[in-house]
Structure 1
Amino acid sequence: MENQFGSRSTWSRHWLVIYTRPRWEKKVDKLLKLQDIRSYCPVRSVTSQWADRKKIVDLPLFSGYVFVWVNEREEYKVRQTLGVLNFIYYMGKPAVIRDNVIEKIEELMSKNVECEVVDSQEIHLGDRIRIKQGIFYNQEGTVIKVQGKHVLMLLDHLNCAVVSSIPITDVMLNTAI
């Protein structure tokens, strides 16, 4: 809760966001909990395909971020935790996340709702894109339709015209063209 001068109270707790080392979200979450600091790293189950097997792995919903429930005095302990790079700031102060936002995320995750945070890069009709992974890895094409989390694209470098629906997370804008 903010006091009359607009600053946070030293003793009241708020949800803040910390930025972690790449692929350290779950490790940081565990290290914070070992220090009795309440943290939250929402994860989603994803099936990963290797050449010889498939495996279900838990990936952080927010890549590079973990939520912590702390007061100002506990912020120092968080900063000193291995894998924590810094707090996310807004207007010069650690960004405070409303309790109802965290509750909504927890509710969605507990119901096993399929959710994914997609890069805010916008892909539009007619854009030239390149596939980052999968069977058509490194193939280029033209976006002919954007359907939610998938892009319908025309693959034109396979000596024929092939239209394929590709997850938006598997493509990137082709800036070389």
Structure 2
Amino acid sequence: MAEEKDKKQSSRRRSNRRTEKESEWQERVVQIRRVTKVVKGGKKLSFRAIVIVGNERGQVGVGVGKASDVIGAVRKGVADGKKHLVSVPLTRDQSIPHPSTGEGGAAQVLIRPAAPGTGVIAGGAVRTVLELAGVKNVLAKRLGSKSPLNNARAALEALSSLRTFQEVAQSRDIPVEQLY
């Protein structure tokens, strides 16, 4: 009887792990940095992880986690990224509706829609943000700072400022056809 109960619990644990791994969210670590803080007794070592979380269907977030070990920092970064999710309106050809710019610190990012088949033409953290958002055809240019965190935040701001034609027409109280 006890053995049967243990088997059920262990199989339940395994199935929980499986569903956890097969979740819709993808996580990519952009940067892990070792940081030290000078305290009275010497130097205190910790880690900072920049993690980008997305479901490749129009939702993406950037998170930062700090902990005394790398795994803890990544876990905190994933939780932070899920707290700061942004919805991205995608067009039928899996691009963005219009050009957009975003700023994060000293970084600026310019994002433009591209023709079907172009792919994601971007570099660094901006590329990761766009891929995890589910954008397949886009051109992006990083301007200013080279910091991965600031570039990721700038890309997130640019994506959050996007609006569809329907949203613009509704806010102006005009039909969609009149926008073209």
Name the TM-score, length of structure 2 as normaliser.
0.22
Name the TM-score, length of structure 1 as normaliser.
0.22
More helix by share: 2
More strand by share: 1
